[in-house]
Amino acid sequence: MKLEKDINKKFTIINSISMEFKHGGDVKSFAEANGFTLDEVIDLSSNINFIKPKLDIDFNSLNISSYPNYDILKESLATCYLVDSSQIELFNGGSVAIYSLFRELNLKNIYLYAPLYLEYKRCAILNGYNLYYINRFQNIYSSIKEDSLVVFVNPSTPDGKFYNIDILMQMWMEKRATILIDESFLDFTDFKSAIEYLNKYSKLYILKSMTKFYSSAGIRMGIVISNRENIEQLRIKEPLWKISEFDTQYIQSALKDVDFMEKVKDINSKNRDRVIEILKGVNFIEKIYPSVANFILVKLKNIKAEQFQGLLTPYKIMVRECSNFDFLDNRFIRIAIKDKVAIDRLEEALCKISI
C-alpha cells in the first residue's frame, strides 16, 4: 500500500511539473479548439527555423536493416564546429542531452540564468538539484556557490539576446563551477561560440539542439561538445544506438548545404527587422526586446497575453504566452520569425485590432 501511495505521489508531481512547463508549437490543440485545420494556422509560437535545407537523399533507399554508424556524422559536425569528433556526443534531441548530462554530473547545486528554456528547470527538479535562479535582466553577475552547475543559454530564450560571457566565464571558473552553455540559437548569428574556452577550462559543456536551426523538430538531434575525457565519461553510460539512420542521414545531408547557414542568417535578419517595425506601430506594446535569434520577446501594456492571443485567434495566428518563464508574467509574449505570408497575416491582424 505504501509503495502504491509513493508511486501515485510521484506521478502527481510529474504531471504537475509537465503542466507548468508547457512549450509553444501545439498547433493541433489550437486548431481543434478553434475549428481550424492544421494548414490554416500561422504558428508564431514555435521557434523552429521556417527555412529548410536542401537535402540530397532518398529516404526510401536507406539501409535500415543494419545498426547505424555515426562516424561520418560526427566528422561532419566536427568540421562545422571546428572541434575534434572525439569531443562530440550525439543525443536524441537537445532535451535528451540535458537529462543525460544532469544525471551524469549529479551535482548538488544548480544555477539557472533565467528566463531560459523550461526543460532545464524541469530536469533540475526531477533530478533533485538544489535550484537557484539568477535574473539575468537585473543581477547577472550575482555570486554563486563553489562547485555548482551553472546553465546559461546564449543567445537567450525567450528574448534572443547574445551575451559576451567573458566576465561570467572568469567568475564561474574561479568558483570551480561546471558550466553548461546552450548555443542552440547561435547558428542564426555571426557571434563567436564558447568553444574557444574548451582548451582553457576542463569543466565546460556546450549544447546545441540541431533541430532548431535545421528546421527538423521531428528529426531528433542534439549534441554536447566538451573535452575528450568528459565526452568519454558521458558515452560510457549512453546506449550504443540512440539516433536512427533517418535522423543521421537528414543532418548529414543538411550539413552539405553549404549556402544554408548564410541564407538563413540573411533572411531571418530581414524578416526579424520587418516584424520589429510592425510591432513598433502597435499602441498596446510596451517593450520590444532586442534579439539576434529567430524570435522576439514583447511586453504588453494594458492587456494580458491571453487576451492578446484571443484577439489574434480569428486571424488563425498562434503566439507563445510566456508567463511560465521565471521572472516574466502574463504580459509577455514571444513571436517567432517566419515567412512573408505569416508576417503579412500578422501585420493585417495588428492593423485591425484596437484596444
Q: pLDDT tens for residues 206-252?
A: 999 999 999 988 888 999 999 999 999 999 999 889 999 999 999 99
Residue linked to cell 568540421: 79
Per-residue pLDDT for 23 more than 60? Answer: no
Alpha helices in 46-106 (DSSP H): 71-81, 94-105
pLDDT for res 239: 87
pLDDT digits (tens, 9 = 90+) for 55-107: 988 888 888 888 889 999 999 999 999 999 999 999 999 999 999 999 999 89
- DSSP states along 100-167: HHHHHH--SEEEEEES--HHHHHHHHHTT-EEEEEETTT-TT----TT-EEEEESS-TTT------HH
Whether this prediction's pTM lies above 0.75 is answered by: yes
Angle at 103 between CA 102 and CA 107, to 5 degrees: 65
Distance, in Å, from the CA atom of 13 to the CA atom of 288, rounded to the nearest integer, reads 35
Q: What is the mean pLDDT of the chain?
A: 92
Give the H or E element holding residue 211.
helix 210-213
The phi, psi pair for 210, rounded to 5°, reads -70, -20
CA distances from 169 to 4, 9, 180, 184 (A): 46, 40, 11, 19
Angle at 195 between CA 190 and CA 196, to 5 degrees: 95
293 pLDDT tier (thresholds 50, 70, 90): very high
Distance, in Å, from the CA atom of 31 to the CA atom of 42, rounded to the nearest integer, reads 10
Strands, sheet with 285-288, edge to edge from the N-terminal-most edge strand: 285-288, 295-300, 332-336, 320-321
**What are 108's three cell numbers?**
548538488
pLDDT for res 355: 74
Per-residue pLDDT for 6 more than 60? Answer: no
Say if CB 336 and CB 46 are below 8 A apart. yes
Enumerate domains of the chain plus CATH numbers. Answer: 22-51+260-352 (3.90.1150.10), 67-255 (3.40.640.10)
pLDDT digits (tens, 9 = 90+) for 128-185: 999 999 999 999 999 999 999 999 999 999 999 999 999 999 999 999 999 999 999 9
Say if CB 71 and CB 255 are below 8 A apart. no
Distance, in Å, from the CA atom of 325 to the CA atom of 208, rounded to the nearest integer, reads 21
